[in-house]
Structures are given as C-alpha cells and as structure tokens.
Amino acid sequence: MRPPVRLENTYQMEPSKNFPSGMVKNIIKDVLQGYLAEEKYEPELCRQMTKTLSEVHAYRGLHMGPNNLCYVTRHFLFCPYVDNVAMSLFLRP
C-alpha cells in the first residue's frame, strides 16, 4: 500500500490581475445600444432579451483576455483594491 500523496493548496487569496471594469463597462454599453436601440417594449420580447443580453455579455467578457471573469457574484467581504464592478445605463432619447 502506497503512502498518501500530500498536495499543496492551490487557491489564491488575491486575483492575479485586477478586474478591467472600464473595458467591461464599454462592452455592456455597446451590447445594450446594439440590441436595444431600435426595440419597442413588449413583455415577451423583454423576457427573452434579458436572457440573450446576459449570454452576450458573458460571452464577450470571457473572450476579453486570458482570465475568466465572473459578472455576478455574491461577496460577504469586499476588498476595495481588488473587488470592482462595472455597470451601464441605457436610456432612450
């Protein structure tokens, strides 16, 4: 019988690079403008569009760079030098 293999912990206490909130904000703004500029409100379309926009944001965010980004998380502790958020507002003229 072999002795058990001892492994080191592989988790990180801090991200390897900061969250690119400016780039993500631009993605959100571009996607909202591109998908919603010509749309009129319809309840059924709104339901489907919410899912579509979420998928498009996730896809574009994941293909920004080598690190995967998580758009929606629940944090119990907030560390201001590594935890950031990106958001955008779409208004019709």
Is the pTM for the entire model greater than 0.75?
no
Question: With 70 as the cut, is the pLDDT of residue 85 above it?
Answer: yes
Contact 83, 70 (CB under 8 A): no
One-letter amino acid at 44 equals: E
One-letter amino acid at 90 equals: F
pLDDT tens, residue by residue, 46-79: 889 988 988 888 788 777 754 544 544 444 455 6
